[in-house]
């Protein structure tokens, strides 16, 4: 043994003695050095193991989203951001340690290293710009439905989620309910044969639509940053009763009843039948008459009701094309003959009906209360012991939030989520394509002294690769809108 080896052994012995004396002193003083998770007790989650969330949009639905993330026990609400201090007040009170910002761009610039994920719950027209900005900075994102305001934006976010390898989830929490999985299992088992038609309906809108833009300019509340609220939308004067909710009925900001409820109600059809992109769409809309034989013309406002028919090409789960009907404003399809005269059709206001070659399936909002028609078939199915094919999300719709939090903590590709942009993007595009047909009704063409509306009562044909309608060019302006100066996607 050489001298260097001897010195090394002496050093190790000295280190061991010092460690022993230190531990002995701690034991003598009644202090035990134990792992941090043991100190916290069963179920303890160290702060370093929690997802740090920045909530963009802290009032209304944003308030409930943020609360649900926190309720998971695995998320810290690190930052709150809202253009309206009044709307944010409850969240600020509930999370006093969260730093508050009014401008999400300033939050991203100053705090980018201090949060892991972003929740976006703003009016539809600002969803994409915030979500993409977060993804480009490597942040996981949860975005309220509809995913975007425009088809182009939906396509961009779908690609970005894959490019930046972040965990994404759209806020259509019914996608985590048992009902949508049960419908899929029944269909896969062949209980209703081959589905060729689906009806989806809602009692929305529950806000004013089919109305003129208010003529009276109003004073901007001191708590509201109106310019930030407008964001990507065209410059406009502030008017009463637009904020915080009725913006849904105006095309510059919202996407109507389709944007509000379509992602909730149509998700089951997309999952069950593996739908992707529609090929054609046609629509009829409710009329508003302002005088005898004088139809109102309110192109800024969504119509009071509509019936849209979308055609989807054959999938690996169907034998042919699929026709999906969307109805809003209280319009409903004809009751199925298999449904008793006093048996509820959907849940009254909303519903989804699958029509197959051997039977029918029906569900309520969020795909709850899934059932076969006639209802007597449901007792028969219980005896069939159809195996559970698709894993359930603990706590269903409420578990939608925890599912995203846990997947984000695990990292991209490690855990499944119910509504990743991979599926939420095409679903959103279908709804926005339906809106192309609806908006086409108000496209006015004037030649000399003659005015016509060539987008009414026609079928629009969709070129999916190039994202454009091929037989009525005017509506392509709604596929990708122009942002207000100073705002751009990816800023």
Bridge partner residues of 397 (DSSP): none
SS3 (DSSP) at 311: strand
Query: What's the first-to-final CA gap in the chain, in angstroms?
Result: 66
Quick check: 195 and 354 in contact, CB under 8 A?
A: yes
| Whole-angstrom distance, CA of residue 416 vs CA of residue 43 | 22
Quick check: 367 and 179 in contact, CB under 8 A?
A: yes
Whether the CA torsion 76, 78, 83, 86 is positive or negative: it is: positive
* 159 closest CA partner among 148, 171, 144: 148
Backbone angles phi, psi at 99, to 5 degrees: -75, 140
* 123 closest CA partner among 211, 207, 52: 207
Find the length of the chain.
491
User: What is the residue whose two structure tokens read 């300033």?
Assistant: 106
Quick check: 359 and 377 in contact, CB under 8 A?
A: yes
Domains in the chain, start-ordered, CATH in brackets?
47-174 (3.40.50.720), 178-391+421-478 (no CATH)
One digit per residue, pLDDT tens: the chain, 491 residues? Answer: 444 444 444 444 444 444 433 443 333 333 333 333 333 444 445 556 899 999 999 999 999 999 999 999 999 999 999 999 999 999 999 999 999 999 999 999 999 999 999 999 999 999 999 999 999 999 999 999 999 999 999 999 999 999 999 999 999 999 999 999 999 999 999 999 999 999 999 999 999 999 999 998 999 999 999 999 999 999 999 999 999 999 999 999 999 999 999 999 999 999 999 999 999 999 999 999 999 999 999 999 999 999 999 999 999 999 999 999 999 999 999 999 999 999 999 998 999 999 999 999 999 999 999 999 999 999 989 889 899 999 999 999 999 999 999 999 999 999 999 999 999 999 999 999 999 999 999 999 999 999 999 999 999 999 999 999 999 999 999 999 999 999 999 87
SS3 (DSSP) at 201: strand
Local structure of residue 246 (DSSP, 8 states) = G
Q: Nearest 5°: CA angle at 74, between 137 and 93?
A: 85
In 342-365, which positions are buried (b, 16+ CB within 10 angstroms) versus exposed (e)?
eeebbeeebbbbbbbeebbbbbbb
């Amino acid at each position: 043994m050489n001298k260097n080896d001897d010195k090394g052994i002496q050093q190790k012995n000295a280190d061991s003695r010092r460690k022993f004396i230190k531990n002995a002193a701690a034991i003598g003083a009644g202090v035990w050095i134990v792992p941090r998770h043991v100190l916290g007790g069963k179920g303890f989650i160290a702060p370093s193991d929690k997802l740090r969330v920045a909530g963009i949009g802290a009032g209304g639905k944003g308030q409930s989203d943020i609360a649900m993330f926190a309720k998971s026990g695995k998320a810290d609400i690190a930052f709150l951001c809202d253009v309206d201090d009044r709307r944010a007040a409850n969240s600020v009170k509930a999370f006093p340690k969260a730093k508050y910002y009014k401008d999400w761009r300033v939050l991203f610039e100053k705090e980018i290293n201090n949060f892991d994920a972003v929740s976006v719950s703003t009016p539809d027209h600002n969803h994409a710009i915030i979500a993409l900005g977060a993804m480009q900075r490597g942040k996981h994102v949860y975005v309220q439905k509809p995913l975007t305001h425009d088809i182009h934006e939906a396509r961009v976010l779908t690609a970005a989620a894959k490019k930046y390898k972040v965990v994404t989830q759209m806020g259509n929490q019914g996608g985590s309910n048992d009902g949508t999985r049960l419908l899929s299992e029944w269909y896969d088992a062949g209980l209703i044969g081959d589905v060729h038609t689906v009806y989806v309906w809602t009692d929305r809108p529950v806000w004013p639509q089919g109305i003129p833009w208010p003529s009276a300019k109003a004073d901007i509340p001191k708590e509201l940053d109106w310019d930030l609220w407008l964001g990507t939308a065209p410059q406009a004067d502030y008017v009463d009763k637009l904020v915080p909710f009725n913006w849904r009925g105006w095309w510059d900001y919202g996407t109507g009843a389709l944007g509000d409820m379509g992602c909730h109600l149509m998700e089951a059809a997309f999952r069950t039948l593996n739908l992707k992109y529609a090929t054609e769409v046609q629509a009829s809309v409710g009329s508003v008459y302002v005088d005898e034989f004088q139809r109102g013309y309110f192109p800024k406002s969504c119509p009071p009701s509509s019936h849209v028919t979308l055609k989807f090409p054959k999938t690996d789960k169907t034998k042919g094309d699929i026709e999906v009907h969307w109805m809003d404003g209280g319009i409903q399809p004809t009751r199925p003959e298999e449904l008793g005269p006093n048996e509820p059709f959907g849940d009254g206001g909303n519903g989804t009906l699958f029509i197959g070659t051997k039977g029918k399936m029906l569900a309520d909002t969020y795909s709850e209360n899934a059932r076969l028609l006639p209802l007597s078939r449901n007792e028969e199915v219980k005896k069939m012991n159809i195996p559970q094919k698709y894993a359930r999300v603990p706590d269903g719709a409420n578990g939608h939030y925890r599912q995203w939090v846990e997947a984000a903590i695990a990292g991209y590709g490690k855990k499944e989520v119910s509504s990743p942009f991979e599926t939420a993007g095409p679903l959103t595009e279908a709804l926005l394509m339906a809106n192309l047909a609806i908006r086409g009704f108000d496209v006015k063409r004037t030649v000399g002294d003659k005015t016509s509306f060539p987008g009414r009562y026609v079928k629009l044909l969709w070129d999916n690769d190039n994202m454009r309608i091929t037989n009525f060019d005017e509506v392509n302006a709604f596929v990708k809108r122009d942002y207000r100066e100073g705002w751009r996607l990816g800023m």
